[in-house]
Amino acid sequence: MEETKEFYSVEEKKLARYAKALSHPVRVYICDILSKQACCYSGDLAEEVPIARSTLSQHLKELKNSGLVQGEINPPKIKYCLNKENWAEAQQLFKEFFK
């Protein structure tokens, strides 16, 4: 069986994953909120973001899947924070891409 060479670099794949996560204004807004504080509980986010809780949950899931946000379950609440390492990496990748 012949090996196929990977066409996209690791950095390009990461940049695309972060860009997809930030491709909706609600997710950008959530990241903005989280960037200004250490962490935030899902209930507090629901008060800040004027959308249904189920929709908020879907947006948070997308941000978590991208690695930009991490969640910690403290029943009955979920605490969300930016993943500082991935956030810094995303900033650097976007900076390099747009230079």
pLDDT along the chain (99 residues), means of 10: 74 96 97 93 90 94 96 89 97 96
The residue to which tokens 């899902």 are assigned: 42
The model's pLDDT over 60-72, given as tens digits with 9 standing for 90+, comes to 999 999 999 999 9
The enclosing domain of 79 has a CATH number of 1.10.10.10
Domain ranges, residue 72: 10-98
pTM: 0.87
Q: For the chain, what percentages of helix, strand and coil (3-state, to nearest 5) are there? A: 60, 15, 25
CA nearest to 91, candidates 8, 19, 13: 19
Contact between residue 38 and residue 81 where contact means Cβ atoms under 8 Å apart: yes
CA distance 78 to 22: 21
Tokens representing 46 are 């629901």
